[in-house]
Amino acid sequence: MVRPHPKVIRVLLLIVIPVMALLVGGVLWLRGGGSVGTEDAYVKNDIAQVAPEIAGRVGEVIVRDHAQVGAGDVLVKLDAEPFRLALAKAEAELDAARTTVETARAQWLETRSELGEVESQVDYLNRQATRQQALAVSGVTSQTKLEEATNAAAVARDRVTVVKRRLNRMVAALGGNPEVATDEHPLVREKLA
């Protein structure tokens, strides 16, 4: 067997093999150096954290792993049923608040009419008491009739005070203004918010 010359071996070891290694390394770098990959992930583009604005159960996932997405793209769809139920509940509470305000307004109108009736009764009973007093002075009526008329007038005046206080409570329950539009009442505005 013929042995190569030591200069050839030296040139081969010092020049040819390192040049070949550089060429192979360069080709590998050019072909695969653009992306680093593993079995679990690709690290090539920006990665962004995604967080929901509202909590809910995911109904459908629209994108797949490692898919490119843009701003505003829909990634998942939430199950709409809990939101429909919450909306129905809110609408029912709003209707109940409107009914409460309308009922309070109707009671206020009724009590206002009652006040007019009671004030008319006070006028009548005051006139009766005055008449009974004039008759008592002339001796035509008894003291009992005078006391009954005077007492009835006093009771009617007290009833006017009670009805006025009830009206004041109703006005307060109507937000200070019984003529306010239903949707402007604080109770309804709270449910609209």
What's the rounded Cα separation, in Å, for the pair 165 and 183?
26
Nearest C-alpha neighbor of 120 from the set 163, 165, 69: 163
Q: Which amino acid is at 153?
A: A
Nearest C-alpha neighbor of 62 from the set 50, 49, 75: 75
What's the rounded Cα separation, in Å, for the pair 160 and 111?
11
Helix, strand or coil, per DSSP, at residue 66:
coil
Q: Which amino acid is at 28?
A: L
| Secondary structure tally for the chain: helices H, strands E | 5, 4
Q: Are 45 and 68 in contact (CB under 8 A)?
A: yes
Could you read off the pLDDT tens digit of each residue along the chain, which spans 193 residues? 677 777 877 877 788 888 899 999 888 878 776 666 566 655 566 666 777 788 888 888 888 877 788 888 888 888 889 889 999 999 999 999 999 999 999 999 999 999 999 999 999 999 999 999 988 888 888 889 889 999 999 999 999 999 999 999 999 888 888 888 888 888 888 888 8
Q: If you search the block for the tokens 């081969």, which residue do you land on?
A: 12
Q: Domain boundaries in the chain?
A: 93-192
CA distances from 102 to 30, 63, 99, 112, 165 (A): 79, 50, 5, 15, 20
* Whole-structure pTM value: 0.57
